[in-house]
Amino acid sequence: MKKIIYFVMAMTILSCTQEEFNIGNSNEADAQRVLANGPDFQNFNISNHSALFDNQIEFQGIYFRGLADQFSTTNAFSGFWDFCDQPRRQIINSTANDDLPSQAGGPWDSFNSVINNANIVIGNIENDGNQVMVGDSDLTQQELAAAYFDKGVAQGYLALIYDKAYIVNPDTDPGALEFSTYQEVFADAVKNIEIGIQMASAFNGFQYSVYPGGEMLDGPKFLELAYSYLARLSIGLPRTDAEAQGLDYTAILAYAEKGLTADFSPLAEEDVFFNNFQDWSLFDLGDAGYMPTDLKILHLFDPTYDTDYPEDESIVLGEVTTDDPRLDEYYQYVGDDFGFLRASRGRYLFSSYKTVKFFNDNDQNSTGLPTNIFAKAEIDYIMAECYYRLGDFGAAAAALDASPRMAKGNQATTVAGPNVLNALLYEVSIELDLASGICIEWWFMRRHDMLQAGSPTMYPVPASELEISQDPIYTFGGPAAAGEPGTASGANDWRNIDLVY
């Protein structure tokens, strides 16, 4: 019999853990009480909104950042080195791997939890016929729309990260669960986001709170965000360039055109909602960075710069030469202060730069800081990429010129396919790094075959789940599997690209 672990996180109202659906919930009476009270029901739903966005700026993003060569390390803490080493390693998908809960287990548990909580809301309204009354206001359809959006976005992340997942609805029989392909999960995600859009559009005075007491989105802003997620997730689905060529870029462009007109970056509230992904990524060790800037970034600024650090210990790479002012704004040269980097684990992984963009004195957990969940610039680049895929290189270059590439970086783009693609890699790697949540660079590079050969292009279902479902344990990654499903071929490895913009 198939079973699934779900961790229910009603962070401020309800704490219900049902390790398996067929085990009774000891908090059932509390759950019924909460869901029968309009304000408590709404707060339960808002807490799930918070979990949805928190999962996109959490610790688990570090591993995707490593696979995309956004930072480098030889530090074995929590398995960081495993995701940065060269040649690439397989994902250790085993319950004997103490870091599995942070690696393949992290997104699985967190996004499935959001889906479970959204299903509680949906089932309580649609199946049980409950209303959400707050004062004299009937907010039932508002809360239902928000739950469908949360569920769809969480499903989208599962589809873009894993090779398969479960499709679970309020009336799903937990004893009959079977895995669905990532394409099937994604189709269901789009359907649910679109239901949320339709319901929100029809509700007069719609409001969506990002977290309890946090930023409130009105109807138009919520719709901008929802269409932005449809664009982000739709363009991010492919595992290879060949797969990406089959997307409907006209439809994705239409989503993006309805998307964000400003950054979606709710302000942090200390110990409640903050960007833990940035907190770890930007940690400073005095002069050195805990997670130093990968040479990919420096090579994009200056194509003459090395793609691997010299293994001769007498050589220290000098400063990058570029006319892009973002080099000095986002990065800092530290010379031979290598911090935690250890030559015995591969000097080719060294770096003489650290990332300082968004740095806040080693403390992102501070009220009032931006959380950088979704940059408006990402919509600019999605539009440019759609034009590129549609063969309209002039429109692609114009979209790049209208983006921070020109406004911040003073970088023009020549109207030619390879130049546009190189410029997109440049911008996604530099402008969007830590500015648009987890996975963005990894998704971009895999759909253009730019990852190093052997890099995982998707996660396996965590071994902890496969042991429960009694399915074979498997994994992705490693040089021996290069080019196989789930593992990058390296066909357009960024280190071999002729960087002309």
CATH of the domain at 200: 1.25.40.890
Quick one: 178 and 55 in the same domain? yes
* 11 shares a domain with 134: yes
Tell whether 500 is covered by a domain.
no
**Packing angle between helix 38-54 and helix 105-122, nearest 10 degrees?**
160
- Please say if the pLDDT value at position 7 is more than 80: no
Q: pLDDT, tens digit, for every residue of 337-358? A: 999 999 999 999 999 999 999 9
**What is the mean predicted confidence (pLDDT) over 142-149?**
98
Query: Which residues contact residue 400 at a Cβ distance below 8 angstroms, ignoring those fewer than 6 apart?
Result: 380, 381, 384, 406, 413, 420, 423, 424, 427
Domain boundary among the residues 355, 370, 405 is at 355
Residue 155 has pLDDT above 50, yes or no: yes
Q: Would 128 be classed as within a structural domain?
A: yes
- Is the separation of the CB atoms in 55 and 49 below 8 Å? no
- The CA distance from 132 to 39, in Å, is 8
* Same domain assignment for residues 224 and 173: yes
Stretch 257-276: mean pLDDT, rounded?
97
- pLDDT tens figures, 57-96: 999 999 999 999 999 999 999 999 999 999 999 999 999 9
**Residues 149 and 285 grouped into a single domain:** no
Domain membership of residue 96 (yes or no) is no
Question: For residue 214, what pLDDT is reported?
Answer: 87
Contacts of 271 (CB under 8 A, 6+ apart): 365
How many Å apart are CA 422 and CA 396, to the nearest integer? 12
441 found inside a domain: no
Last residue of a domain, one of 185, 211, 237: 237
Q: Sign of the CA dihedral 419, 425, 426, 428?
A: positive
Indicate if 139 and 226 belong to the same structural domain: yes
Q: Supply the DSSP symbol for 167.
A: -
Q: Are residues 223 and 280 in the same domain?
A: no
**pLDDT one-digit tens code per residue, 202-252:** 999 999 999 988 889 999 999 999 999 999 999 999 999 999 999 999 999
pLDDT tens digit sequence for 413-462:
999 999 999 999 999 999 999 999 999 999 999 999 999 999 999 999 99
> Is 115 a member of any domain?
yes
Helix (H), strand (E) at residue 434: none
Q: What integer pLDDT is reported at residue 2 of this predicted model? A: 33
Q: What is the DSSP letter of 127?
A: I
Residues 156, 189 contacting (CB under 8 angstroms): yes
Q: What is the pLDDT of residue 32?
A: 65
pLDDT over 90 (residue 374): yes
> Tokens 């909104």 belong to which residue?
49
pLDDT band at 361, cuts 50/70/90? Answer: very high
- Tell me if 18 is assigned to some domain: yes
**What's the structural domain count of the chain?**
2
What integer is the mean pLDDT of 190-196? 98
Task: Based on the fold, state whether residues 180 and 303 are members of the same structural domain.
Answer: no
Distance of CA 289 to the CA centre of its chain: 23
Q: Could you tell me if 233 and 280 lie in one domain?
A: no
Residue 30 has pLDDT above 70, yes or no: no
Backbone angles phi, psi at 400, to 5 degrees: -65, -40
36 φ, ψ (degrees, to nearest 5): -90, -10
Which of 306, 325, 355 lies at the terminal end of a domain, its last residue?
355
For residue 79, what are the contacts with CB-CB under 8 A and spacing of at least 6?
A: 63, 92, 97, 99, 102, 103
A 10 A CB-CB count for 481 gives 19
Q: Is 176 exposed, middle or buried (0-12, 13-18, 19+ CB in 10 A)?
A: exposed
pLDDT in tens, 481-491: 999 999 999 99
Tell me what percent of the residues of the chain surpass a pLDDT of 70: 93
Could you tell me the two tokens for 30?
């509390």
Going by C-alpha positions, the residue among 414, 446, 350, 437 that lies closest to residue 81 is 350
For residue 368, the model assigns a pLDDT of: 97
Residues 43 and 164 in one domain: yes
Residue 28: predicted pLDDT: 45
pLDDT band at 175 (very low <50, low <70, confident <90, very high): confident
Asked whether the whole model's pTM tops 0.85, one would answer yes
Residue 181 pLDDT grade (very low, low, confident, very high; cuts 50, 70, 90) = very high
Q: Are residues 129 and 11 in the same domain?
A: yes
* pLDDT band per the 50, 70, 90 thresholds, residue 38: confident
Statement to judge: residues 50 and 125 lie in one domain: yes
Quote the pLDDT of residue 9.
35
Q: What's the pLDDT score for residue 20? A: 32
Residue 470 lies in a domain: no
Per the listing, tokens 């309805």 go with 258
Whether the pLDDT of residue 17 is over 80: the answer is no
SS3 of 171-209: CCCHHHCCEEEHHHHHHHHHHHHHHHHHHHHHCCCCEEE
* Residue 215 counted as domain residue: yes
Cα angle at 216 between 188 and 189, to 5 degrees?
5
Q: What is the DSSP string of 436-481?
A: S-SSHHHHHHHTTT-SPTT-BSSBPPPHHHHHHHTPPP---BSGGG
- In this prediction, residues 48-52 reach a mean pLDDT of 97
User: Which tens digits make up the pLDDT trace of 113-129?
Assistant: 999 999 999 999 999 99
Q: In angstroms, rounded to a whole number, what is the distance separating the alpha carbons of residues 448 and 430?
A: 17
Residues 165 and 232 in one domain: yes
- pLDDT above 80 (res 12): no
Domain hosting residue 281, numbered range: 276-355
